[in-house]
Chains A and B, each alone.
Chain A
Amino acid sequence: MAMTKSQRRHAFSAFRYLVLTFWLLIVAFPIFWMVSTSFKPDREWFAWPPVYISENATIQNYLVVWADVSEYGTDAEGELETYTQSLQRPWEALGNSALISVISTTLTVLFGSVLAYGVSRYGILSEGRMFQLLMLRMVPPIVLIAPISIWYSALGLLDSITGLVMLYFLTTLPYAVWMSKSFIDEVPREMEQAAEILGASRMRTIWEVVLPLVRSGLVATFLFILILTWSEYLLALLLSKTEVVTLPVELSKYQGSTEGRVYGRQAALSVGITLPLIVVGLIIRKHLARGFSFGMVRR
C-alpha cells in the first residue's frame, strides 16, 4: 500500500533517528567503557564475560594515578606490586600539556586568523599557496622526525616546552588559516566598507565589525586545534620523553614490559585527560553551536 506524504515523512524521520541512535552508540561506547573501566577493581579489567558496570566500583585507580597512593586496597592482587610508581608524574604531565597546548593554540589561532584575514581580504596567498599550506599536513609527521630531531638537538630544543610549542604551532597553522578564513569570508566586504566610509580606521573596523562576527568561529577553531594539540602523541613521544612529558606520553607509560597492562589506571588517567576538554567545550558551547554552524551573518 502506498504511503501518504505525511506517512512517508514520519517514516523517514523514524529511520533518521534510528541511524543517529546507532551512530551515537558507536561513538559513545568507548567513552562509556573508559569511564566504566576507571572504576573497576583490577580483577574485573580482563573479566569474561565483560563487566559493564562494576558492582565493586572503587576510586582506587584514581587514587593510585592522581594521588600517588601506592598501596592497594584490601582486595588487591599481589601481582601488581612490581608496578613502579616512580616513573609516573601525571600532575606534571597535566601542567606541561596545559601549558604547551594553550600557548601553541593561542599563537596558532592568533597568527592563523591574521594570515587568513590577509588571504581573504588582500589575497596575500594565492589559491595554490593555500593548498601548499594544507599540503604541510599531508606529510606523515614520522618522516619529519629525523631531520627535526637533528635540528632540535643542535638548537637545544629537545625535551623542551619551547620545542614542542614551536612544532605544534607550525603543524596546526594550516588548519587555523583554513578554518578562520572560512569564517572571515562570511563577513561581507561591504560591511567593512560601510564602517570605513563612516570614518572607522582599518584597525577599528577589524575590532568593531569583523572580530565580533568571527569570534564564534575563532573560538571553534581554537577548540579544534586545542584538541589536536592536547592529544598529540607521536611528536611529543619522540622529541621529549624524559624531561617534558605530556599527557598522551604519560598515558603510554601505563602499558609496557615493566608495568604490565594496567587498564584501570590507564582509564583513570584517560578520564583526567578527557575532562578538561569537556569542561572547555561546555564553557564555550554557546560559541561552538554558532561557530560550527557557520553563517551567523545574514546577507
Chain B
Amino acid sequence: MSRIELVNLRKEYGSVVAVNSMDLTIEDGEFIVFVGPSGCGKTTTLRMIAGFEDPTAGDIRIDGEVVNEKEPGDRDLGMVFQSHALFPHKNVADNIAFGLRMKKVPQDEQARKVQEVSELVRITHLLGKMPAQCSGGESQRIALARTLVTEPSNFLLDEPLSSLDAKLRRELRAECDRLHDELQKTFVYVTHDQEEAMTLADRIVVMNQGKIVQMGSPMEIYGDPVSYFVADFFGNPAMNLIEGEFVAGTNGLEFHSSQFNIPLPAKYSSTAPGKGSLGIRPENVTIGATGGGASINSEIELVEPLGKDTLLYFGTDADRPFVAVIEGTEEVQRHAKVDVGFPDDAIFLFDANGDRIR
C-alpha cells in the first residue's frame, strides 16, 4: 500500500513560480501521467516527489508520512531518467546491481535478482556489456531494470522515452504498460507527448504554467476538455480551433469567423455574445450531407491520404487550416466543393479566456 499525496505544493525559483499550489493524491497502483508543454512544472513536481528539489511550501506525503526532509534514497522510490543516467564505467550487470549493493543485499541474492529482472525486461544478453556498447532502447531497458531490481513501491519516470526514435518509443511504451500491469505498483510518468499520456495513463494530469488544468481518464480529457489549452493539446491531428465571435442571430447564437459563419446548437442560446473560439475534432467533421447540425459548402484545398484514413484540408490560407478526417481513401478530388458538417454534439465552444462554454 503506497499513496503519494501532494498538499499545497509550491516551488519558486526566485520570482518564477514553477509549481503553483498543487494538490493531488496519487492512489496505490495507479499509472498517473503528468503532461504539459515544457516549463509547465511537471518535471519540477516529479523532482520534488523524488527529493531532488525542495518545495518552497507545502508537503509531500508518502503513505501518510511527510517526506520533505527525507533523502531521495529513503523515500521508497525508483526513478528512470530522460538521459538513462547509466554509470558508464560499470558494466550492465553492475549497473543493475548498484541499488542492491547500496542496500547491502548478500552477493548471491544480488546475482539472482539481477538475473530475474533482466529476464523481465529482456536484457539478459547485455549483462556483460558496457553501457556505451548498448543502443538507446537497450539503455532505457537497463535503466528500467536498475530501478526495478530494488523493488520500490513507486516508480517515477521523467520523460523516459523522449530521447528515442518513434518506433522504439512505441515499443517501450508498450513495455512500460506491461510492467505496470505485472507489478501493480504506482507509476508517476512525466511526458510532453499527449499520445504517450493517452495510451499509458489511468489518469492524466494536464499541467500548464505551474497549475493543474484538468485531471481525468484519457477519454475524459479527450472527450470533455475544460479549456482551449487542453482541447488543443490532446488529439492527433489536433482539434480544429477557429477564432471568431459569437453573434446573436435570428435563430439563436451564431459563430462568425473569417472562414465561415454557422448557427450554433440550441443549448448555447443563453450564451452571451462576444469573442471566442469554436472547436471540432477532425474525425467528427462530416463530409457530404449526413447527420444533423450546421454545414457549410467549402472547397477541398489539399488531400493527404494516410492509408487507412485521408486528411482533407480547407482554408489553408488561415493561421491554421481546417482539417477533416475521413475513413478510407475513397476518391476525393482536390478543389472539389463539398458540404462540411458540424454535428451539434461535436462542437466545443471556448470564451475569450479559453474556458469552455457549456
Query: How far apart sit A209 and B87, CA to CA, in the bound complex (Å)?
Result: 7
* Residue A267 at the chain B interface, CB threshold 8 Å: no
Query: Which of B73, B89, B143 is within 8 Å of A199, CB to CB?
Result: B73
* Residue B298 at the chain A interface, CB threshold 8 Å: no
Residue with the greatest number of chain B CB neighbours at <10 A, chosen from A201, A296, A297, A298? A298
Given contacts A190-B83, A298-B132, contact A198 B88 (CB under 8 A): no
A299 and B87 within 8 A (CB):
no
Across the interface, name the chain B residue whose C-beta is closest to A191.
B85
* Residue A200 at the chain B interface, CB threshold 8 Å: yes
Given contacts A212-B89, A297-B88, A298-B88, contact A193 B72 (CB under 8 A): yes
Q: How far is the CB of B149 from chain A (nearest CB, A)?
A: 9
Contact code string B66-103 (vs A, CB < 8 Å = 1, else 0)? 00000111110111011101111100000000110011
Contact code string B96-127 (vs A, CB < 8 Å = 1, else 0)? 00110011000000000000000000000000
Q: Inside 8 A of B143's CB, which chain A residues have their CB? A: 194
* Residue B131 at the chain A interface, CB threshold 8 Å: yes
Query: Which of A197, A200, A298 is within 8 Å of B50, CB to CB?
Result: A197
* Residue B260 at the chain A interface, CB threshold 8 Å: no
B132 and A197 within 8 A (CB):
no
* Residue B281 at the chain A interface, CB threshold 8 Å: no
Query: Which of B73, B82, B89 is within 8 Å of A196, CB to CB?
Result: B73
B73 and A193 within 8 A (CB):
no
Residues of B in contact (CB 8 Å), total 29
Q: How far is the CB of B62 from chain A (nearest CB, A)?
A: 13
Residue with the greatest number of chain A CB neighbours at <10 A, chosen from B74, B81, B85, B99? B85
B87 and A188 within 8 A (CB):
no
A198 and B146 within 8 A (CB):
yes
Q: Inside 8 A of B74's CB, which chain A residues have their CB? A: 199
A299 and B99 within 8 A (CB):
no
B89 and A197 within 8 A (CB):
no
Query: How far apart sit A209 and B89, CA to CA, in the bound complex (Å)?
Result: 8
Q: Inside 8 A of B98's CB, which chain A residues have their CB? A: 195, 198, 200, 208
* Residue B150 at the chain A interface, CB threshold 8 Å: yes
B71 and A196 within 8 A (CB):
yes
Given contacts A199-B99, A298-B132, contact A194 B81 (CB under 8 A): yes
Query: How far apart sit A188 and B158, CA to CA, in the bound complex (Å)?
Result: 15
Query: How far apart sit A203 and B151, CA to CA, in the bound complex (Å)?
Result: 24
* Residue B268 at the chain A interface, CB threshold 8 Å: no
Given contacts A198-B98, A198-B146, contact A299 B83 (CB under 8 A): yes
Given contacts A193-B72, A204-B102, contact A198 B87 (CB under 8 A): no
Contact code string A178-212 (vs B, CB < 8 Å = 1, else 0)? 00000000001011011111111100100011001
Q: Inside 8 A of B103's CB, which chain A residues have their CB? A: 199
Query: How far apart sit A237 and B71, CA to CA, in the bound complex (Å)?
Result: 53
Query: How far apart sit A193 and B156, CA to CA, in the bound complex (Å)?
Result: 13
Query: How far apart sit A163 and B340, CA to CA, in the bound complex (Å)?
Result: 89
Across the interface, name the chain B residue whose C-beta is closest to A196.
B72
Query: How far apart sit A188 and B82, CA to CA, in the bound complex (Å)?
Result: 12
Across the interface, name the chain A residue whose C-beta is closest to B150.
A198
* Residue A225 at the chain B interface, CB threshold 8 Å: no
B85 and A200 within 8 A (CB):
no
Query: How far apart sit A197 and B52, CA to CA, in the bound complex (Å)?
Result: 9
* Residue A213 at the chain B interface, CB threshold 8 Å: yes
Q: Inside 8 A of B52's CB, which chain A residues have their CB? A: 193, 196
A213 and B89 within 8 A (CB):
yes
Given contacts A197-B73, A198-B99, contact A190 B88 (CB under 8 A): no
Docked complex: B214-254 residues within 8 A CB-CB of A: none
B50 and A198 within 8 A (CB):
no
Q: Inside 8 A of B81's CB, which chain A residues have their CB? A: 190, 193-194
Query: How far apart sit A212 and B130, CA to CA, in the bound complex (Å)?
Result: 15
Query: How far apart sit A198 and B149, CA to CA, in the bound complex (Å)?
Result: 10
Query: How far apart sit A199 and B79, CA to CA, in the bound complex (Å)?
Result: 12
Beyond contacts A196-B72, A197-B51, A197-B78: 13 other A-B pairs, Cβ-Cβ < 8 A, are: A193-B81, A194-B143, A196-B73, A197-B73, A198-B146, A199-B73, A199-B99, A199-B103, A200-B73, A200-B98, A208-B87, A208-B98, A213-B89
Using CB atoms and an 8 Å cutoff, list the residues of chain A in contact with chain B. 188, 190-191, 193-201, 204, 208-209, 212-213, 296-299
Can you give 13 contacting A-B residue pairs, CB < 8 Å?
A: A190-B81, A191-B86, A193-B52, A193-B79, A193-B85, A194-B81, A194-B143, A196-B72, A197-B50, A197-B77, A198-B102, A199-B74, A199-B99
Q: Top 4 nearest A-B pairs by Cβ distance? A: A198-B99, A199-B102, A199-B73, A194-B85
